Structure 1
């Protein structure tokens, strides 16, 4: 498994709708609203053997209202 964090910038006024749609998909480990350049941050646990980019593209980026994302890969938890 691979843990990744995806920051999401939403179209103005859609952050709550985007968050609700992500929750309905049940693909996240954690989901937060954030301050700054991005509106939401989602923690995903990508199944072993899955292509990370394709998994995110197929399971997250089809949510209406997402304008831009920034994905951070993780290596080791301390």
Structure 2
């Protein structure tokens, strides 16, 4: 599976509507957080390893009502206590 995050800027007053749509309509959405700063939401997605992330974001995320802008962050490695940080 491929993990990535999308910062989402919403139309004024639509943040909770957009968050609900992400969770309800996209099974690939793992977590959706409200955040401070330039964006309103941070959503974590998980797709198949061979999925086209750009197409997913432009066709499935950006088309949801209430979204003004996005910024996508691709993940390279996940470092956890059981993988990637061991003392081998």
Greater RCO (Cα-Cα under 8 Å, separation 6 or more)? 1
Contact 2:35 2:42 in 1 (8 A): yes
List, as ranges, runs of 4+ consecutive aligned residues in structure 1 with deviation greater than 2 Å. Answer: none
Q: How does 1:1-78 map to 2 (within 5 A)?
A: 1-25=1-25, 26-78=27-79
Greater share of strand: 1
* C-alpha RMSD over aligned residues: 0.9
For structure 1, list consecutive stretches of 5 or more residues without a partner in the other structure.
Answer: none
Q: How many residues align?
A: 78
In the aligned structure 1, how far is the partner of 2:58 from the partner of 2:28? Answer: 12
Higher Rg of the two aligned structures: 2
- TM-score for the superposition, normalised by structure 2: 0.83
TM-score calculated relative to the size of structure 1: 0.93
Structure 2 distance, partners of 1:44, 1:54, is 13
- Runs (5+) with no aligned partner, structure 2: 80-88
